Amino acid sequence: MKHISGRVEVIAGPMFSGKTEELIRRLRRAEIAKQKIQVFKPSLDKRYGTEKLASHAGSEFTASPVDTAGEILNRIEEGTTVVAIDEAQFFDDEITSVVQTLADRGIRVIVAGLDTDFRGEPFGPMPVLMVQAEQVDKIHAICIVCGDAAPRTQRLIDGQPAHFNDPIVIVGASELYEARCRDHHEVPRDMSTEESNSQ
């Protein structure tokens, strides 16, 4: 079944908010509607196997790992009506034009990813994808400290909050990350670095 027109849907939020679960839920509905689906994920995300999406809740869906955003366009098959892209924050900036190209071809594109990095700042191409989308669903997790809504991802190194200047991308799960609310999200800054930068 072909769509009347293409569209872009973005599912954004912190880790443990259910982004991949929601992505898989939409894919299952597309399957019921007998639509042809292709699913892609960045090859660097090997947490649950290389050729599947897996939510923290245990849902799974077959996916093709790709090294670059441009590779997605080259792998679109005849008759595909739904394309899903998980962990979009890990892709290069070309992902924004790839998604637009697919939607312009009449394909429904569903993108899931972290809207902010562990520092609470915009993550990779996600802000642009959110602006370009027809539909954006921003979902929250539960703060591990107080139980409030958690829009942020806390990175922990040996049980302590990671520093602002630590690497942006470190793939991991509950051993490295927790969901936190604004009040309990901690990102210590190296004061000596800040002082030298201000001079």
Residues labelled catalytic = 87
Separation between Cα atoms, residue 128 and residue 159, nearest integer Å: 33
Work out the number of other CB atoms within 10 angstroms of the CB of residue 85.
Answer: 27
Report residue 74: phi and psi, to 5°.
Answer: -70, -15
Strand-pair partners of 49: 47
- List C-alpha distances in Å: 193 to 9, 89, 132, 137: 39, 27, 36, 37
**What DSSP assignment string belongs to 54-74?**
E-TTS-EEE-EEESSSHHHHH
Separation between Cα atoms, residue 9 and residue 130, nearest integer Å: 8
Residue 138 · residue 19 · CB < 8 Å: no
Instruction: Please list, in sequence order, all residues whose beta carbon lies within 8 angstroms of the beta carbon of residue 189, skipping any fewer than 6 positions away.
Output: 163, 164, 165
